[in-house]
Amino acid sequence: MAQSLRIRRVAGALGAEISGVDLAQELPDEIIARIRHALVEHQVVFFRDQELTPAAQVAFGRRFGPLNIHPFVQGMAGQPEVMEIVKEPQDKVNFGGGWHSDMSFLETPAIGSILYAVEVPEFGGDTLFASQAAAYDALSPGLKTTLETLSAVHSASREYSAKGHSAQKRAGMQVAEADGYVGEYVHPVVLTHPETGRKALYVNPAFTLRIDGWKTSESKALLDYLFNHCRYEGFTCRFTWAEGSVAFWDNRSVWHFALNDYPGQRRHMRRVTVDPWPAMAEQAREAELAAAR
């Protein structure tokens, strides 16, 4: 099986397609290690022609870490780790429409997300990915030095409030409204990847509220500059879905954007989100605290 696994790069900044593997099978540790290596090297990896039951998707995800249960989106009955992302034909707003990094609003953010296509529209519905490592690399030495001294405040309060983008009513999903205090957590503006040592920007338009220690008004100019810089097309790749496709991306260095360009059609995806192993979570938190000091 190891000889049959093939990895093909799909864009300059990030992205690779992996073939020759059946993710529904109980894969040997060697194959899991090669997939993990491809993930951290290419930041997002894609698979085609998979047949994943919810249980099989959970089993595959757990090979990379414990699975997250989303605090605001109801999971499947009996499989709470599996989030069904559905846009019905009558829904106007899609889930994930806008550049973001999954779960950065948590104290210990997720390391990766695994999205599986159950039903796709006849046209549209692609997902864009942007390398935040490439975005960091492109900055001037002076701005890199400045940003490495800063941390930023992340929260779900804006995105999941009653007026937020994700909390708008839709027929296909149950998304809670996170009114009131839902927590604010501080993460470095520049994140050093724990597995590669590569640095990446770690702010995003959905969940980053302000620079830590700065007023929101003071933070706006810098964050707006970074948000615009981080989505430059040279840092991106685009994935066109088909039924049975899988995308696995590294939330520590990747933004993504689910395009809402398929009016009147249905799109049904399933996602599991991988958290750090407890030891990794502790090390990551210690690194964040050290960076903030």
Domains of the chain: 2-292 (3.60.130.10)
What pLDDT was estimated at residue 140?
Answer: 98
The yes-or-no verdict on residue 293 having pLDDT over 50 is no
What pLDDT was estimated at residue 66?
Answer: 96
Could you tell me the pLDDT band of residue 67, with boundaries at 50, 70 and 90?
very high
What pLDDT was estimated at residue 171?
Answer: 57
Identity of the highest mean pLDDT range in 109-123, 172-186, 277-291: 109-123
Q: Three-state secondary structure along the chain?
A: CHHHCEEEECCCCCCEEEECCCCCCCCCHHHHHHHHHHHHHHCEEEECCCCCCHHHHHHHHHCCCCECCCCCECCECCECCCEEEEECCCCCCCCCCCCECCCCCCCCCCCEEEEEEEECCCCCCCEEEEEHHHHHHCCCHHHHHHHCCCEEEECCCCCCCCCCCCCCCCCCCCECCCCCCCCCEEEECEEECCCCCCEEECCCCCCEEEECCCCHHHHHHHHHHHHHHHCCHHHEEEECCCCCCEEEEECCCEEEEECCCCCCCCEEEEEEEECCCHHHHHHHHHHHHHHHC
What pLDDT was estimated at residue 173?
Answer: 66
The type of residue at 275 is D
Q: Which of 104-118, 167-181, 196-210, 260-274 has the lowest mean pLDDT?
A: 167-181
Could you tell me the pLDDT band of residue 222, with boundaries at 50, 70 and 90?
very high
Could you tell me the pLDDT band of residue 157, with boundaries at 50, 70 and 90?
confident
Could you tell me the pLDDT band of residue 243, with boundaries at 50, 70 and 90?
very high
Annotated active-site positions, please? 100, 102, 256, 271
C-alpha to C-alpha distance for 139 and 79, rounded to whole angstroms: 42
Could you tell me the pLDDT band of residue 180, with boundaries at 50, 70 and 90?
very low
Question: Per-residue pLDDT tens for 76-118?
Answer: 999 999 999 999 999 999 999 999 999 999 999 999 999 999 9
The type of residue at 163 is K
The token pair at 222 is 């810098």
What value does the mean pLDDT of the chain take? Answer: 91
